[in-house]
Chain A
Amino acid sequence: MLTRKDFEGKERPTWCPGCGNFGILNAVKMALAEQNIAPHQILIVTGIGCGSKLPHYMKVNGFHTLHGRPVAVATGARLANHGLRVMVVHGDGDGYGEGLSHFLNAARRNINIVDLVQDNRVYGLTRGQYSPTSEQGKRTPTTPEGSIDGPVQPLAMAISAGATFVSRGYSGELKHLAWIIGEALKHPGYALVDVLQPCVTWNRAYAYDFYNERVYKLEDEAGYDPTDRTAAWEKAYEWGERIPIGIFYRGEPLPTYEEQVPGLKAGPLVEQPLEKLRPEQIEALQAEYI
């Protein structure tokens, strides 16, 4: 049986004391241990941002890529080796800003990845600019008079795009978050895990106190049915005195993209023998042109 310790890394995190990323890091380790997925059996693909350094701080196959592009990289990794578990971890600027199109495309394709978005509603590593999920009117170095853009609605967008697993966790609720990540790992197909995460340096209005007073768990809510897509879509807009966390939508699993690719019928691509063309294959190819 694996434990969190099996995922201990050598590097010490460079995050600020109190950063929500510590909770996310622990929850990821707990979920992997609980699901019995060893460090060499999963690839964590990240973007660029404070939180995207996560694989450096644990023991796991990691690919720390470009800002906004980890979902595309993860898609390629899954298509080339669908025997390998793949998880994406990146921030809200990465996932919902620069990478917005990859997010929606991965959801509609049903690529079998867990897409965990560290949603602190601000840019951290570049020092406090407003992000795609920042509230309208936010004053930051790039919006000194207040931002004009309205925030994106990632959960509603994921549901609209066709995702069959759409969830939100909170880095201050470690066990709950680990449970959600575990459920996402079990889900065949694209699974969004949006994580509310305080940024104690650049977004103090949304610190632990703010979330602790407001979050509630959907599974404790009498009558909430996560298989009801319309209800989930409406719930995705609830934001105010009460902020829901948990699994918003869990639909009937659909066939994953990878299992429908004609060229992958024989099994993971990288496990197929890579050999020269056989004489009859060469003849067939030449015959196409005669």
Chain B
Amino acid sequence: MTTNNMTFRLGGAAGDGVESSGAGLCQALARGGLHVFGLPDYYSRIRGGHNFFSVRVSDQPLYSHEEPVHLLLALTEETIPRHRDKIVNGGAIVYDSSQISPEQVAGNADYKSALSRGVQFLPVPLSEMAKEKAGTELARNTLALGVAAGLTGFDLEPMESVIRQNFARKGQAVVDGNLAVIEAGYREGQKYAADFPFKLERRPDAPPRMVLNGTDAFSLGALAGGCRFVAGYPMTPGSLALHWFAARAAKYGVAIKHAEDEIAALNMAIGAGYVGARAMVPTSGGGFSLMVEALGLAGITEIPVVIYNAQRPGPATGLPTRQEQSDLLFMLHASQGEFARFILAPGTHEGCFVAGWRALNLADKYQTPALVLSDHYLAVAIRTLELDAFDFEAVEIERGELLAQEDLDALEEPYLRYRLTPSGVSPRAVPGHPKAVYVSTANEHDESGAISEEAANRTAQVDKRMRKMEGMAREVEGPSWYGPEEAELTFLCWGSTYGPLREAVDRLNEKQSGRANMLHFSALHPFPREATEAALQRTKRTIMVEGNATGQLETLLRARTGRAVDGAIHRYDGRAFTPEYILARVSEEV
């Protein structure tokens, strides 16, 4: 018997409500005092296909999903063969026997091997029961969650509270129907509970926790940091942040624009930034490709703007709803010409929150674009977090050398927007003051903003813009350590690989103390060279783990430090790293 340590997986077709049910399950488990890590897996289509949602549960905080499944809830026939091999010994498959016949379940060679491992196949007429109790087969996903609660012995009350909340806007009849359905499912699950060894217990003393994904975390941070202008164009998974702000724009005084395309979106944000708003554009790699020329405009005119890129596999359309970390070098080099920029790559939900407000400050202080690299995994993965996980107190709104009305009133000399300064940052006036009337231009310009093709001026202005990198380098954090101070293996990673790799490190050290630790990079440009070199002094054998085919951080590490790694693990099949994936390849590597 195992308590509070298992993974559910709910599988069906697009349109079956798999994602909303999965999210609801996460919420219910969190209200029951448990930690969850929820991950949707879906195709780029609105109906059909195969979607599933995994919910991992524990008494401990979770940073990653894992591959083994303890309870599979199958709404469609296809769900069973796709996930049967992931079911642990003694685990169970609950299937909708109104839609899937016993012959379909058994008609596969793997069926017997699953049986021999003690996997139970539990037929429940989900569709029929849902229709009977709620008047619609659509409620069968709720019913499946009830069965899961019955099997695991989890208290129904948190689930009922989530149903009451989530279905409230659809009317009392729908709430009542779903409550009846979940109770019927619960009783059905109880019938098999004695033989199901994975149990869940409420932890009533646990504090209330938040359940949210990386998009929520980043957006909360950006709002807290004073983001008041958001423009974008829908593209998975970046548009989730656009939705987030749209839903809250009226309440928090944010101007939000779903633009005609991504080119317009970034140009709008630059226009907003030019007149003094804190502006952000959420997108994904394809959208960012369209924004590249405008990125250079922000660079040469020195206008602060934040670009949030939730990466997905490319090139072109690639795999729209899947995972990859392959835009790093693109983000670093995008645009003709050279200028200063930040690239942040938070690895956790907590990191996303901080990146949300810090990027706005960095962009304003250095009057240059700040790019935040997230990815599909981080954008959609749901975690439980303590209420104090996001430190709203620590949020600061720093606008850098933005001239206030009084400063401008007191101006005695002609205002020079692009004044040559030791830091490279020139005091900035936004349009509207009679003493600071100036032109900004995408052409090279002199200190006043006038177009200039003079050689000496060109060198001086390029130097000024690049000089910002010195101050910027002092702003970025070096790689962070996780694990024991000394270890045989040191893993290097960036962005969302943090979670699965952290768990892989834990598991290696459980087997053998001092086996592994890891270095996570959450700031990639300016590259934290000195901190990295110091950190690498402490390593014995290094393995880079990144979600791309070519080793982009590996390339960058070599370019910035001259250091190579001893081994590398890549993943670019569109799926997120798992602890198991990493561990399997560590044994190959070593």
- Residues of A bordering B, CB below 8 Å: 10-11, 38-41, 43, 45, 48, 53, 55-56, 59-66, 69, 72-81, 83-84, 101-102, 105, 261-266, 269-270, 272, 274-277, 281-282, 285-286, 289-290
Contact = CB atoms under 8 A, between A and B. Distances in A.
8 contacts: A40-B431, A64-B442, A69-B263, A73-B268, A76-B268, A272-B228, A282-B224, A290-B31
B33 to A, nearest CB: 12
A66 B275 contact: no
A33 to B, nearest CB: 15
B585 interface: no
* B interface residue count range (under 10 / 10 to 19 / 20 to 34 / 35 or more): 35 or more
A182 B253 CA distance: 32
Nearest to A45: B271
Interface of B: 30-31, 208-212, 216, 220, 223-224, 226, 228-229, 231, 249-250, 252-257, 259-261, 263-264, 267-279, 293-294, 297, 301, 387, 392, 395-397, 399, 430-434, 436-443, 450-451
Contact of B297 (A11, A66, A80, A265): A66
A269 B228 contact: yes
A40 B433 contact: yes
B255 A264 contact: yes
Nearest to B431: A61
Given A48-B442, A73-B271, A263 B297 contact: no
9 tightest Cβ-Cβ pairs between the two chains A and B: A76-B271, A76-B268, A262-B250, A62-B439, A80-B272, A72-B267, A80-B277, A61-B431, A289-B210
B229 A269 contact: yes
Contacts of A285: 220, 223
**Residue of A38, A69, A281 ringed by the most chain B CB atoms within 10 A:** A69
Contacts of A261: 255-256
A263 B267 contact: no
B257 A79 contact: yes
A289 B211 contact: yes
B234 to A, nearest CB: 15
Given A72-B264, A263-B249, A80 B224 contact: no
B141 to A, nearest CB: 22
A62 B271 CA distance: 11
A265 B114 CA distance: 62
A190 B296 CA distance: 28
B437 A39 contact: yes
A269 B270 contact: no
Contacts of A40: 431-434, 436-437
Contact of B254 (A11, A101, A263): A263
Given A65-B297, A76-B270, 15 more contacts: A38-B434, A40-B434, A56-B441, A62-B440, A63-B274, A66-B267, A72-B259, A75-B264, A75-B271, A77-B275, A101-B260, A264-B255, A270-B430, A274-B278, A275-B397
A62 B439 CA distance: 4
B265 to A, nearest CB: 8
B440 A63 contact: yes
Contacts of B399: 274
A66 B442 contact: yes
Contact of B272 (A69, A77, A262, A290): A77
B250 A76 contact: no
A79 B229 contact: yes
Given A66-B297, A263-B252, A289-B211, A84 B439 contact: no
Contact of A76 (B208, B220, B229, B263): B229
Contact of B255 (A41, A80, A281): A80
Given A263-B254, A270-B276, A277-B392, A66 B271 contact: no
A59 B264 CA distance: 27
A77 B274 CA distance: 7
Nearest to B249: A263
A215 to B, nearest CB: 32
Contacts of B431: 40, 43, 61, 81, 84
Given A84-B432, A263-B254, A276 B270 contact: no
B579 to A, nearest CB: 26
